[in-house]
Amino acid sequence: MTETAPRPTLEAVAERAGVSRATVSRVVNGAQGVREALAERVRRAVEELGYVPNQAARSLVTRRHDAVAVVAAEPETRVFADPYFAQQLRGISKELTAHDNQLVLLLTEGREDHARVGRYLAGGHVDGALVFSLHPDDPLPGLVRGAGVPTVFGGRPGWDDGRDDVVYVDSDNRGGARDAVRHLAGLGRTRVAHITGPLDQTSAADRLAGFRDVRGDAGRGLIARGDFTSGGGERAMRELLDRCPDLDAVFAANDLTAAGALRVLRERGRRVPDDVAVVGFDDMLPVAEQTDPPLTTVRQDIEGMGRLMARLLLRGLDHGTAAGEPAPTGPDTASGVVLPTTLVRRATA
């Protein structure tokens, strides 16, 4: 059995730096009031000795755990298979790492998972939570509030509990959908269909609303329900072709849905974009650039949304508030940030 050397102590750092233990503690915990010359001696001693602060003891002083829970209201099979979540988690992780915070990933698949997550958040293990992929009947918002944990939500909230202090980050889903459908109309397409996402999520509902803003009554009978998966896109595309064989364009609620729709169009002998033009939503490069042909889509900054969620939460924690300080950027957002979208033109439209 290999013996390990004892960990350097606070006292050892104080002796090496020639200062008091209290001075070392203040420097290590980021407190103010230590002259820069002394603080530099302490930092040099910490580096020379390889001192690592005891997190439990540090938390008693700072009342911070330097850990943030990321709660996804989806089963793990979807979170780890969908590149959307990978991009969002990458953005969150980059921002937290830049501020020396740890990411704790919590997934919910059933009621027992909700209870487990609620207990964990209430147990004081993390400083705050980032919650996304919520559904209207999801108990997570109430559990988070009950735990008293500062929170930023990913996506426009779909519930109304009378409170106006909800902080969230979202994309302009409705405006992006309008851009997509107007682009198709500008190409001379007159039978434009829409494959939705799961309509119990606000992003999918907003994209459907954007489609209807442009198509109005002309879109009746040209809407099929999807679920943000490629399999859902295949099923919806078959339904649309059976119902409306003369359709000449499809706006899919996300890129995975569009990829599924493209496979069915190829199976049915429809040429893209000659016979049917297709536009997706997200601009997830592992999907959009590898479809055949490459996918025209609406770009949202998924990784940037993740970074912004983390930034707002950390800013709120630093200011001692339960929320960050986002500046409203849209008519429907009193306490959220809505980021713009951009149409990216490739070969499908």
Distance CA 349, CA 332 (A): 30
Cβ count near 145 (within 10 Å): 15
- Residue 54 makes CB contacts below 8 A (sequence gap 6+) with none
Q: Which of 136, 278, 301 is nearest to 195 (CA)?
A: 278
- In the predicted structure, residue 126 carries a pLDDT above the cut 80: yes
Mean local confidence (pLDDT), 201-224 = 94
Which strands form 128-132's sheet, in the order they lie side by side? 102-107, 67-72, 128-132, 151-154, 168-171, 336-339
Distance CA 174, CA 181 (A): 11
- Dig out the tokens for 264 from the structure: 């069915």
- Dig out the tokens for 3 from the structure: 């013996």
Mean local confidence (pLDDT), 110-137 = 84
Least confident of 161-175, 203-217, 263-277: 161-175
* Band of pLDDT at residue 309, cut at 50, 70 and 90: very high
Are 94 and 68 contacting, i.e. CB atoms less than 8 angstroms apart? no
Q: What does the pLDDT read at residue 252?
A: 98
Name the average pLDDT for the chain. Answer: 86
- Burial track 290-304 (b if 16+ CB lie within 10 A, e otherwise): ebeeebbbbbbbbbb
SS3 50: coil
HEC profile of 76-112: HHHHCCCHHHHHHHHHHHHHHHHCCCEEEEEECCCHH
Mean local confidence (pLDDT), 51-64 = 55
End-to-end CA separation in angstroms for the chain: 65
- In the predicted structure, residue 120 carries a pLDDT above the cut 90: no
- In the predicted structure, residue 333 carries a pLDDT above the cut 60: no
Mean local confidence (pLDDT), 309-315 = 93
Q: Please state the pTM of the whole predicted model.
A: 0.79
Q: What does the pLDDT read at residue 266?
A: 97
Q: What does the pLDDT read at residue 326?
A: 41
Distance CA 164, CA 292 (A): 45
Q: Which of 61, 44, 172, 73 is nearest to 131 (CA)?
A: 73
Query: In this prediction, what percent of the chain has a pLDDT beyond 90?
Result: 52
Q: Considering only residues 116 and 244, tell me which one the structure prediction assigns the higher pLDDT.
A: 244
Render pLDDT for 79-95 as a digit per residue (tens, 0 to 9): 888 899 999 999 999 99
- In the predicted structure, residue 322 carries a pLDDT above the cut 80: no
- In the predicted structure, residue 273 carries a pLDDT above the cut 80: yes
Q: Which of 338, 262, 264 is nearest to 296 (CA)?
A: 262
Residue 212 identity (one-letter amino acid):
R
Q: Considering only residues 117 and 215, tell me which one the structure prediction assigns the higher pLDDT.
A: 215
